[in-house]
Amino acid sequence: MTSQGTTAPAFDAVREAFDDALENEELGASLVVDLWGGYRDVERTKPWTRDTIVNVFSTTKNVTALAVLVLVDRGLIDLDAPVATYWPEFAASGKENVLVRHVLGHTSGVSGWEQPVAMQDLYDLPASTARLASQAPWWEPGTASGYHALTFGHLLGELVRRVDGRFLTDFVAQELAAPLGADVQIGAREQDWHRITPVVPPPPLAFDLSGMDPASVAVRTFTGPAPDATVVNTPQGRRAEIGAANGHANARGLVDLLRVVSLGGTAGGVRLLSEATVERIFEVQADGPDLVNGAPVKWGIGFGLTPSPVAPFLPNGRVAWWGGWGGSLTVMDLDRRLTFAYAMNRMADGGLTLFDRLARYFTVIYQAL
């Protein structure tokens, strides 16, 4: 199957690379330049169409970070204030000095839930969020990053609720997606389920947690709770507000939303952020081996930064990015005013930040520029 959509002549090489991937590697995917193609099902009977959406796992974190930054820009949240300023219960168990920017930079020490916990427990938002407020940090906050694989959305979503009164799902829909006309949502509205392509889970993770120290931050995070890609294909999973990993979108929707970062805070005549707030994204919060995923990650406020050994195909400069389990990705390149997004249904094997299949696209995109 060849791709559908449009490209400017300068980006014909991108279409060729995408068509090759559809033929040999992808099941179904969308890529903005503005391309989509492949199939929504493993039987290859339902084509991926213009309005197909898919769970993008941790690419959702970009959306959640943007929501918090909008409240920062409105003067309702101070990045340098303790989380407990807005959420008093969070000060329990030695977290009184955890700052808002520590959560956005994955340095808060709260990267997972204490056992016992299962994915289904996260669906009960009040209970699971209260558990995070009561537990102690797993390392000294602010001293190192530990990827907040699933807690990122619960922690920041509660901040949104405390200062705005709305749940993260509603805030994103009403204050971000609607003004920008972006096909992006946290969870998935039931009336949109017919547009969703189920994800095809990857093989098991390459590393064996049973051979690691059970007291380590990595093991405690990856078992608190253990990731399960199949839950996003269930009705309960689709309804859940998990702002770290349960966004539904396609590449066009992600670009329509996140280009507001690449363009200095304004897109389509809508200003969501001041240039000063955008610049705060690039304040480095951690730069070194991450305690959870083990990768040398450079974290800004809410986003990964470059240069990045995890994604060496990304250019240096004012580039904010992050991606999701299986390979989805968004990149906001402020120096070139470029926003890139990719979403697919067949998840690549490997860890949480495996984007090898995207290197070919970036090569031809930057050559075209």
Give the active site residues.
Answer: 58
Please classify residue 174 by burial: count the beta carbons closer than 10 Å to its beta carbon, then call 0-12 exposed, 13-18 middle and 19+ buried.
Answer: exposed
Please classify residue 149 by burial: count the beta carbons closer than 10 Å to its beta carbon, then call 0-12 exposed, 13-18 middle and 19+ buried.
Answer: buried
Joined tokens for residue 152: 């990122």
Helix or strand (DSSP H, E) at 208: none
Whole-angstrom distance, CA of residue 254 vs CA of residue 182:
7
DSSP result, 59-125 = GHHHHHHHHHHHHHHTTS--TTSBGGGT-GGGGGGGTTT-BHHHHHTT-SS--SPPSS--GGGGGSH
Strand partners, 267: 270
Helix or strand (DSSP H, E) at 23: helix 12-24
Whole-angstrom distance, CA of residue 35 vs CA of residue 49:
10
Is-contact 251 32, C-beta < 8 A?
A: yes
Strand partners, 31: 35, 342
